Homo-oligomer: A and B are copies of this chain.
Amino acid sequence: MSMNLPPLVQSFVLHFGEMGSRWGINRTVGQIYALLYVSPGPLCADEIVAALGISRSNVSMGLRELQAWSLVLLKHLPDDRRDFFTTPDDIWLILRTLAEERKKREVDPTLSVLREILMEQPASDIERHAQQRMAEMHNMIERLTTWYDDVKQLDQERLATLLTLGSRVTRLLETTDRIVSLGRKRRPTTKG
């Protein structure tokens, strides 16, 4: 059985399928997501089967995984017993969800393992050195995640500002430093 889609949609779906493995999901999961993302309305499982040419059970499992990622939502249409599925409309929301889930799965476990190991007493110079390296890694990850936790709260407008400003922010900071004198350089640790 093979795909049955408008050519332009098919290219997109196939690409997501191929990239799937690089993104840590599998081919069909990638395809299902891509299909739902570009579809004008919710689809039911059998429509996905027909569109992608894969087995019903595979679709069921794929949808299950995508729901676990909160990247696909279950919908019910009136007077229809079937389950329908969509992706959230707001692309920024999608991005946040993705970031959130990846952090949860790919970063948090490492952070907690690092913390555990850093509690241990080193028994040799080798171990002492290893701990030091782990501490560096831990600190970096922690700084990044703190920044992320902080920035993710921003509403879309401010996020947009931040994005368009980019690195010019720091130049601005230096100016502000001089003018408003929030500067850490001028007065060491006033800590307001």
- A residues lining the B interface (CB < 8 Å): 6-9, 11-12, 15, 19, 21-24, 37-40, 91-92, 95, 105-106, 109-110, 113-114, 116-117, 120, 122-127, 129-131, 133-134, 136-137, 140, 143-144, 146-147, 150-151, 153-154, 158, 161-170, 172-173, 175-176, 179-180, 182
Whole-angstrom distance between the alpha carbons of A167 and B12 in the complex? 35
Partner of A12, one of B39, B113, B129, B170: B113
Within the assembled complex, what's the spacing in Å between the Cα atoms of A147 and B162?
9
The distance from the CB of A112 to the nearest CB of chain B, in whole angstroms, is 10
Contacts of A143 in B (CB 8 A): 163-164
Across-interface contacts of A105 in B (CB, < 8 A): 22
Report 14 cross-chain contacts, Cβ distance below 8 Å, ordered by A residue: A7-B123, A8-B130, A11-B113, A15-B110, A19-B106, A23-B106, A37-B137, A38-B129, A95-B144, A144-B163, A162-B170, A165-B173, A172-B173, A175-B180
Within the complex, the shortest CB–CB distance from A184 to chain B, in Å, comes to 8
CB <8 Å contact, A19 and B173: no
- Complex Cα distance, B7 from A123, in Å, reads 9
Quote the shortest CB–CB distance from A88 to chain B (angstroms). Answer: 12
Interface of A is mostly: helix
Bound form: Cα–Cα A125–B114 in Å: 52
List chain B residues, Cβ under 8 A from A23.
24, 106
Q: Are A163 and B175 in contact (CB under 8 A)?
A: no
Report the minimum CB–CB distance from A172 to chain B (whole Å): 6
Tell me the complex Cα distance, A166–B175, Å.
18
Nearest opposing residue in chain B for A13, CB measure? B130
Bound complex: CA A59 to CA B99 (Å):
32
- Bound state CA distance, A154 and B165, in angstroms? 13
Give A170 to B125 CA distance when docked, in angstroms: 45
Q: Which 7 A-B pairs have the closest CB atoms?
A: A150-B166, A38-B130, A158-B170, A150-B167, A40-B129, A15-B113, A8-B127
